[in-house]
């Protein structure tokens, strides 16, 4: 039985003071989520990770939005996995489409980061998804299949069992243009079959999220799809009321 999972990606939003306010306000509904067997989490900027970790409920997953695959060295502007671990951070987004688009995050680079996270007992939340041009060309499965196979290359079934994958069609992120729940189900099911081909039955326990303009009004529809285990949410995770409504709507 896969537990439902709702993760907010704050991107480059919120001052540290605002992150603290959110963390404090989220404590009661983190307890509600736990009581209902739902995992919830947020991915603040690096600068707010320690604050959110300190003030949010211990039941709130706190994840980074990126990391470097090397432990240390001459990589100006980067943050390493040991730096995250020292703050108690044990989740990290990898391969978000904005990083793929603006920061040359390739499947190969994602693979290095995922391997480094797993070697450090951290949970990678690996994002995959096609662009609008790829969707319109009918290449969704080709693109997503390659992202899954290359991003998760050289890993064992034991290593991937706690990993989470998020299917986020690029054309639906921050655009208000949702993929239908049918598309979300089809591609999440395709991802699960790809995982099964690579890792065997462990694929049945791997959580797969949908992301792309998820709002309180549509979250339930996505989560009612058999292969959609939760949501990765950008815009609607920024306001405490809307995040709480997302949680309440999937109880
Ligand atoms: C995201 O950033 O991963 C995302 C899905 O954003 P939004 O919910 O705003 O489309």
Q: Please confirm, yes or no, whether 68 is among the known catalytic residues.
A: no
Distance in angstroms (rounded) separating the CA atoms of residues 105 and 116: 15
pLDDT at 139: 98
Rounded CA-CA distance 93/85 in Å is: 14
CA of 72 to the centre of ligand 1 (A): 30
Closest approach atom of ligand 1 to CA 172: 10
**pLDDT for position 174:** 84
- At residue 212, the pLDDT reads 95
- Give pTM, 2 decimals: 0.97
pLDDT for 30: 95
Domain encompassing residue 145: 4-249
Mean pLDDT of the chain: 97
**Which whole number is the average pLDDT over 49-55?**
98
The CATH number of whichever domain residue 137 belongs to comes to: 3.20.20.70
Q: What is the pLDDT averaged over residues 145-150?
A: 98
Residue carrying structure tokens 């039985």: 1
Question: If you average pLDDT over residues 170-185, what whole number do you get?
Answer: 92
Mutate to test the pocket of ligand 1, among 101, 177, 234, 243 (most ligand atoms within 8 A of CB): 234
Total count of domains within the chain: 1
DSSP 80-131: BHHHHHHTT--EEEE--HHHHHHS---HHHHHHHHHHHHHTT-EEEEEE---
pLDDT given at position 175:
85
Mean pLDDT, to the nearest integer, of 137-163?
98
Contact, 109 vs 97, CB < 8 A? no
Q: Which of 68, 96, 98, 105 is catalytic?
A: 96
């Amino acid at each position: 039985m896969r537990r439902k999972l709702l993760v907010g990606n704050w991107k480059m939003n919120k001052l540290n003071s605002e992150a603290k306010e959110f963390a404090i306000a989220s404590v009661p509904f983190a307890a509600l989520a736990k009581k209902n067997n739902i995992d919830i989490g947020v991915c603040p900027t690096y600068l707010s990770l320690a604050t959110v970790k300190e003030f949010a409920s211990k039941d709130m997953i706190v994840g980074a939005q990126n990391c470097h695959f090397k432990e240390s060295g001459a990589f100006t502007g980067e943050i390493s996995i040991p730096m995250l671990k020292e703050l108690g951070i044990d989740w990290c987004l990898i391969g978000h489409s904005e990083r793929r688009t603006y920061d040359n995050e390739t499947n190969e680079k994602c693979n290095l980061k995922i391997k480094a996270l797993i070697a450090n007992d951290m949970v990678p939340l690996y994002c995959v998804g096609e662009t609008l041009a790829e969707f319109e060309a009918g290449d969704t499965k080709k693109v997503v299949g390659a992202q899954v196979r290359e991003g998760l290359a050289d890993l064992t079934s034991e290593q991937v069992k706690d990993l989470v994958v998020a299917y986020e069609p690029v054309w639906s992120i921050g655009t208000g243009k949702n993929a239908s729940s049918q598309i979300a189900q089809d591609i999440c099911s395709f991802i699960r079959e790809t995982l099964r081909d690579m890792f065997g039955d462990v694929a049945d326990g791997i959580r797969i999220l949908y992301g792309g303009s998820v709002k309180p009004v549509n979250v339930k529809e996505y989560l009612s799809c058999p292969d959609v285990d939760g949501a990765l949410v950008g815009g609607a995770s920024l306001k405490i009321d809307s995040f709480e409504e997302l949680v309440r709507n999937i109880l």
